[in-house]
Amino acid sequence: MTGFGHLKTGIFCLAGLIVSGCNTSLGQVKQAMPEREFLSFASQSGGAFTYACARGATEADTRSRGQKAHLAYEHKMASYGPTFAKTLVSVLDSGVSDAATLEATVNGTSDRWARSAALEVERQYRCLPVGPNRSSS
């Protein structure tokens, strides 16, 4: 599998891992992206959050980039609440009345937001946010 293929595999369930708790384990992501270094950092919300970082010239370089990616991503995640609230109000204002449509619309918007935020961090730091630590095998 190409480097992009590994990255694409890591992204497939990314929004679910971050927003709704996908069934993909960290171990499965590690298998899909063996060329990446997996680094975990303490999260503001408790626990730890893991990133799949492209290896740098040194281990210190990789860890430094990972820390910067984590700080940037934590900032993005902190902005999600107001974004979600605006989305929910917008959908309700549009006249959606059935729960299934409301859920699908809000979940779709959340998934797109999570993917976009993660890909922005990946582009800037070459570290893909892969989710909270759950199962590492």
pLDDT digit string, tens, across residues 78-113: 888 887 888 788 878 888 777 788 888 888 888 888
Task: Please provide the average confidence, as pLDDT, over all residues in the chain.
Answer: 80
Neighbours of 127 (CB within 10 A): 27
Pairwise CA distance, residues 63 & 39, whole Å: 7
118/108 Cα distance (integer angstroms): 15
- Look-up: residue for tokens 């984590």? 70
Asked whether 16 and 89 are in contact (CB, 8 A), the reply is no
Rounded to whole angstroms, how far apart are CA atoms 126 and 116? 14
pLDDT tier for residue 134 given thresholds of 50, 70 and 90: low
Which of 118, 105, 107, 132 has its CA nearest to residue 12? 118
State the Cα angle at 61 between 59 and 65, rounded to 5°: 120
pLDDT tens digits for 58-67?
A: 999 999 999 9
Neighbours of 10 (CB within 10 A): 23
The answer to whether 114 touches 5, Cβ cutoff 8 Å, is: no
Position 23 confidence tier, pLDDT thresholds 50, 70, 90: low
Q: Which residue has the higher pLDDT, 102 or 121?
A: 121
pLDDT of 9 reads 39
Q: What is the pLDDT of residue 48?
A: 92
